[in-house]
Amino acid sequence: MTGNMRTFILMAALTALVMGMGGLIGGTSGAIIALVVAGAGNIWAWWNSDKAMLRQQGAHEVTRAQAPELVDMVAALAQRANLPMPKVYVLETEQPNAFATGRDPENAAVAVTQGIMRVLSRDELAGVIAHELAHIKHRDTLIMTVTATMAGAIAMLGNMMMFSAMFGGRDNRGGALASILAMVFAPIAAGLVQMAISRSREYEADRIGAEICGKPMALAGALAKISRAAGQVVNIPAERNPAAASMYIVNPLHAMRMDRLFATHPATEDRIARLQAMAGGAQRTAPWG
């Protein structure tokens, strides 16, 4: 099964959860209303999520005059990927990391930390930027925004059911037992689906990013360095806004030792192994730089 098909199935599962929760609250009308509310939230997030993400993470835009090597690198890789030139941002944190945001390729941004520019070699940084451009090319930033909004809608519906039960509201359509199960397990299931989508998109971005830069092992080396440092250097803006963790190339949160089931990113070792397999096969593009 391809990554795109897996993402489609998981997003369909999220949609079913939204409608199911709405149905338990208000029957067919409730399911339709829940879907409309989630859709309205997605439209708002589509227009505003990139600005909110950059602001929350303390990113500032840089020009070619301020960071010529970085901006030129992004421009060259964007051209290789047949993408419009994204805006370039820098985050003032020593944790090496990066993310992309934006509702579409014409309104996209790539953000890197000060730490990543100090820690990585030129080829490794190019691999990271190519990875982020792959997210933009395949509109992963939009997909993750939609899934986050739908997961939030499911959590909201669960809270509505809980308050209705606490304050003596009428029984929900699905009965008391179904309501309790929905309140407890639906938000957990939504979170797990959201994480599964995030992990699937990371694998795809690694593959496409390696093709864009033409150096899979440079990206593999970057992932190894970033993963080691991310657990040692605290990224304060990310810690304050943990919901944005899935947008980074490697989990930026300091408390990274968690069960893989609840991880927003695939295991770094698995990602490196796939890139090593790519490097051992026929190289699809000429190396960048």
Point out the residues that are catalytic: 132
Return the SS3 of 89.
strand
Q: Which residues are annotated as a binding site?
A: 131, 135, 202
Q: Which residues are annotated as a binding site for Zn(2+)?
A: 131, 135, 202
Q: Which candidate, 249, 269, 225, 222, places its Cα nearest to that of 122?
A: 222
235-244 per-residue burial string, b: 16 or more CB within 10 A, e: under 16: bebbeebeeb
Per-residue DSSP letters for 6-74? Answer: HHHHHHHHHHHHHHHHHHHHHHHHHHHHHHHHHHHHHHHHHHHHHHHHHHHTTEEE--TTT-HHHHHHH
Per-residue DSSP letters for 185-206? Answer: HHHHHHHHHHHHHHHHHHHHHH
